[in-house]
Chain A
């Protein structure tokens, strides 16, 4: 995580308000992780349960058509954003079809 240079008190907005909504996107919390979830796109049924429970949110819906090896077609996919995923494993626990692998991070 990189710390940006803080503004001096004369440059700060009144009350120390943060004027840029959602700028914590520049804090990458992915380095907290020791294990990482990997979604197996062929096993995934697109129930979006992981997308609902992810507290970050680090799981996103991608609007790209996907055909599984068994020929099932989906209009979208679910992907993990590893910049932010803290590796809590809630998605792995909640995944009904066991389509999320839990892999130890390598250095």
Chain B
């Protein structure tokens, strides 16, 4: 049985802020929302290991920092490795009695899609295999936004980026998005989840769960990017919600091998509603959209079979 969720309404959310304003994230960047809520869940006894990426660059322009918790910047490749090291060091310090053994210290590895899908993947896989008690949070804006919108393993098919341009021959990215959360789930770690900031309570409950489990956990968060996806800054959260309503992004979790969909969608929307708001998909024709819709339908069938009942309903509008 599912336990009662920790965060149910907005009034359950703590008021303390551990992300200071004044950071340099773009206006309308949902990464700010995600990190802010992540830190509210984690609280002050937290160490954040941050890979190079948008959040790292814009929250710490020297000599300023927006973080009110201990924070370390590491390279793209070794986020998970450094987080593992910190976890082991804390274990040693506790064994030597230098810090109180009962003290709970959350270790969060925070990386973008480039630092997880592509460059940091072997370190992540190693951390999961060794079983360090670290929560790895992937904020997925579906390209290397920080360096100027280059494709990554997380970029979806047909999306425009500067390295997958749109012209007479190419129509954006040719390959599919890598199913990173499923690859991580295949490591048989205690907790894997996908979330998005459009459903903040669901996302925060997943962070809470990820910090509570003994062993590694992984939360994959969709992060609409106003600069790279080319939409009006005000639609960040709307797009996050639309991704789930169209079933392009399914909020699921796998807890001790139990797969469940946490946000069920009784009436599914057509994917065109999600695409029409974004400039990176503006080249898509009707046929392309129908092709993507068919792929989504197949994926929904697969998920419904996996869960054993209809969690994501039929296409309505």
In this complex, the interface size class of chain B, counting residues with CB under 8 Å from chain A, is 35 or more
B189 part of interface (Cβ distance < 8 Å)? no
Query: Given A16-B62, A55-B30, are A93 and B237 neighbors across the interface (CB < 8 Å)?
Result: yes
CA of A86 to CA of B27, assembled, Å: 5
**A52 contacts B33, CB within 8 Å?**
yes
- Contact residues in B for A53 (Cβ distance below 8 Å): 33, 197, 200, 236-237
CA of A51 to CA of B10, assembled, Å: 9
- Contact residues in A for B167 (Cβ distance below 8 Å): none
Q: Per-position contact with B for A93-106: 1 when CB-CB < 8 Å, else 0?
A: 11000000000000
A56 part of interface (Cβ distance < 8 Å)? yes
Main secondary structure of the interface of B (DSSP, over half): loop
CB distance from A51 to the nearest CB of B (A): 8
Of B27, B67, B235, B236, the most chain A CB neighbours within 10 A belong to B27
A32 part of interface (Cβ distance < 8 Å)? yes
**B10 contacts A89, CB within 8 Å?**
no
CB distance from A105 to the nearest CB of B (A): 13
In this complex, the interface size class of chain A, counting residues with CB under 8 Å from chain B, is 35 or more
Of B20, B25, B67, the most chain A CB neighbours within 10 A belong to B20
CB distance from A33 to the nearest CB of B (A): 8
**A18 contacts B234, CB within 8 Å?**
no
CB distance from A30 to the nearest CB of B (A): 9
CB distance from B15 to the nearest CB of A (A): 6
Question: Which residues of chain A from 23 to 73 have a CB within 8 Å of any chain B CB?
Answer: 23-29, 32-33, 47-49, 51-58, 61
**A92 contacts B36, CB within 8 Å?**
no
**B32 contacts A55, CB within 8 Å?**
yes
Of A18, A51, A90, the most chain B CB neighbours within 10 A belong to A90
Main secondary structure of the interface of A (DSSP, over half): loop
**A54 contacts B64, CB within 8 Å?**
no
A21 part of interface (Cβ distance < 8 Å)? yes
- Contact residues in B for A48 (Cβ distance below 8 Å): 10-11, 13
**A22 contacts B67, CB within 8 Å?**
yes
Query: Given A24-B66, A55-B29, are A88 and B20 neighbors across the interface (CB < 8 Å)?
Result: no
B23 part of interface (Cβ distance < 8 Å)? yes
CA of A90 to CA of B27, assembled, Å: 9
- Contact residues in B for A90 (Cβ distance below 8 Å): 28, 30, 33, 233-234, 236-237
**B233 contacts A18, CB within 8 Å?**
no
Question: Which residues of chain A from 68 to 88 have a CB within 8 Å of any chain B CB?
Answer: 81, 83-84, 86-88
A7 part of interface (Cβ distance < 8 Å)? yes
CB distance from A97 to the nearest CB of B (A): 14
CB distance from B110 to the nearest CB of A (A): 15
B68 part of interface (Cβ distance < 8 Å)? yes
CA of A49 to CA of B197, assembled, Å: 12
**B10 contacts A56, CB within 8 Å?**
no
- Contact residues in B for A18 (Cβ distance below 8 Å): 60, 62-65
Residue of A nearest to B10 (CB): A48
Q: Which residues of A contact B (CB under 8 A)?
A: 4, 6-7, 16, 18, 20-29, 32-33, 47-49, 51-58, 61, 81, 83-84, 86-90, 92-94
Counting from the closest, the 5 A-B pairs by CB-CB distance are: A55-B32, A89-B234, A88-B28, A22-B20, A86-B27
